Structure 1
């Protein structure tokens, strides 16, 4: 609005003379201006205009004002002179924050993957190092029965032992391999507990092509093949796999575990086995453990007492091997699996799954999930052409092997399988 329009009357025709007063602040004039020529004088009664002090000049925005009086941004990239539109200036990105939690999580995942790989690879690699031999017997064999039956043999082989080790272990220097323990491992396909069934090594049995003799003579005459054939004919069970471990391997396995906890039922002192232990629960190292499972002449039960201690100790070994302290420590797990494989012989038709079934049954004995049995016997000291021998209780032995072959569940030891002679 121009200055001469600040206060003027509304055009003619209005009922009253009404004036519009501009209340916007303007620079104060030094003296009131006179009305321009030809304009109407202010009506009587109008307030005189008060001169105002001029406001300080404000910096004009480069882009001017919008219709509401708000400042507008400058146009163009040349300070508002109409140049080309400038690109918006990007604010600098803040530095990326390091995420230590993510790195820790990644490290944990890598460690877990590595642990799983070692845990799985150790038994597989150890299995590739075991010695194999043909253990399948010739001739007619029993038909396959329920589940699986394996032959586990502890031999007195000194292979791999130095002269110092032989002396420390008290094994002597005999050449070749002879059976020190013979155990049938039966794993049923259905219900019922698996079982370890010890066969006394002095059992007097028919040996194919050799007449009757002690069962360990079959191993001396024809090795694993003849031993398997002899036991198949005597039991009527088809043997599905064969595992043998020697003296040196047994001692190394125990030492790889840092010893094995065992509860000794009585004081045992046996010079031939280099054993002198007291009654009570204790940790046995490799040489002491070997003496514990070999001691025979100091046991009132003779060969049956030794077989009982062997089954007890095998269960304790596998219990220790299955503890987190062994499985979760990669180098200890690797040491155990490879020590076990160092002096092991397996049949050519024996698979890693077969070995797992055998080891699993041994472990279950220590927790009463498997049965620890012995072939029923009638005489522990019978006089035969082979000398003092063990005679089986033929009727009870036949019943036991029939139950295993037919898959009859074994939830408790059958009569006569505790090692007590029937007296028949």
Structure 2
């Protein structure tokens, strides 16, 4: 018959032996340690990604100091530009993208993004807008880029609108294509009647559909088959901006390093910003653009008075001066946009 060993006698006044900790009591600590390790890893990953992205930024001296520059105003204003430069395109890419072989460089897309206490608001400036270009008389607003690069374009937009621009971001033709392709395409809803434009390569029936980079570029560049011409095109440009932001900041992309890292690298390669802009303002801009895609804020085009033809310039768009002033005053003072 087996017997259990007797416990060793304790000296007088000694504390009783402590009970062994239960195994179950270790799990909360293990879970806490695991969570802390994951948080530290994610924090380290985020910091590394932040500095890596900052090192990839392309910058340009986009703003000039000049007498009479508009005051800072309220809120934040970005000038978003789509450049139609063909410099980096091969002949095969030019044929595929239907962009022709011109060597000039203008801006195919010009938009102002405003956010602050109100907004966000995304306002398109048609590229054929007839405005004063400092030092060059009056002409189409997109010609300012060809005449003097980003510095002349930002000054032209500031003087035409009375707004102080805080940030500048520019993306190229090829950049549009690569960014959309890295996202695996974007979902675009084509209005009734579809869009078929031989010159841009657009060939879309009505309805919501996935578009790759080449298709998305064709969609936003089409204007010759659109009865509204450039005014119809600027609406599609805003539509694409929202679709890209919505997909890029979606949960599946954000939680997948093998998706958001290639996208981020492609976006940074396609993007040029002013020298004062870093990753933090870019991230905030992206979040505000996503807000637009979710129905917050508003998108619009600068009020148009008429369209006409001017000798030596061609077809131009004239703003409705009174309504345009009300619009830009609301942006400058960070108020809700006026109706009508």
Please give the TM-score of this superposition, normalised by the length of structure 2: 0.85
Q: CA deviation at 1:111?
A: 5.3
Aligned equivalents of 1:177 and 1:245: distance in 2? 13
Q: CA deviation at 1:164?
A: 3.1
Query: 2:171 aligned to 245, 248, 267, which one?
Result: 245
Aligned equivalents of 2:83 and 2:312: distance in 1? 24
Q: CA deviation at 1:324?
A: 1.0
Matched, 1:212 2:141: no
Q: How does 1:18-417 map to 2 (within 5 A)?
A: 110=37, 113-140=40-67, 141-188=69-116, 190=117, 192-266=118-192, 267-383=194-310, 385-410=312-337, 414-415=339-340
Aligned equivalents of 2:87 and 2:36: distance in 1? 43
Q: Deviations over 1:173-199 (max 9, x none)?
A: 3335310000011112x2x22200000
Q: CA deviation at 1:126?
A: 2.3
User: Whose helix fraction is larger, Structure 1's or Structure 2's?
Assistant: 2
Aligned equivalents of 1:403 and 1:228: distance in 2? 19
- Residues 173 and 387 of structure 1: CA distance in aligned 2, closer, same or farther (over 3 Å): closer
- Gapped runs of 5+ residues in structure 2? 1-22
| Structure-2 residue corresponding to 1:33 | none
Q: What is the CA RMSD across the aligned residues, in angstroms?
A: 2.5
- Residues 368 and 316 of structure 1: CA distance in aligned 2, closer, same or farther (over 3 Å): same
- Residues 302 and 405 of structure 1: CA distance in aligned 2, closer, same or farther (over 3 Å): same
Name the SS for the 2:56 alignment partner: coil
Decide whether the 8 Å contact of 2:53 with 2:279 is kept in 1.
no
- Residues 104 and 167 of structure 1: CA distance in aligned 2, closer, same or farther (over 3 Å): farther
Q: Deviations over 1:75-98 (max 9, x none)?
A: xxxxxxxxxxxxxxxxxxxxx9xx
Larger Cα-atom Rg: 1
Aligned equivalents of 1:366 and 1:331: distance in 2? 24
Aligned equivalents of 1:120 and 1:320: distance in 2? 23
Q: CA deviation at 1:137?
A: 1.7
Aligned equivalents of 1:120 and 1:369: distance in 2? 30
Q: CA deviation at 1:245?
A: 0.4
Please give the TM-score of this superposition, normalised by the length of structure 1: 0.69
- Gapped runs of 5+ residues in structure 1? 1-95, 416-424
- Residues 103 and 313 of structure 1: CA distance in aligned 2, closer, same or farther (over 3 Å): same
Q: CA deviation at 1:338?
A: 0.9
Name the SS for the 1:128 alignment partner: helix
Decide whether the 8 Å contact of 2:115 with 2:334 is kept in 1.
no
Q: Deviations over 1:143-195 (max 9, x none)?
A: 1111111110001123443443333222233335310000011112x2x2220
Aligned equivalents of 1:316 and 1:119: distance in 2? 25
Higher relative CO (Cα under 8 Å, sequence separation at least 6) belongs to 2
- Residues 138 and 388 of structure 1: CA distance in aligned 2, closer, same or farther (over 3 Å): same
Aligned residues: 316
- Residues 286 and 139 of structure 1: CA distance in aligned 2, closer, same or farther (over 3 Å): same
Q: Deviations over 1:214-237 (max 9, x none)?
A: 001111100111111111111111
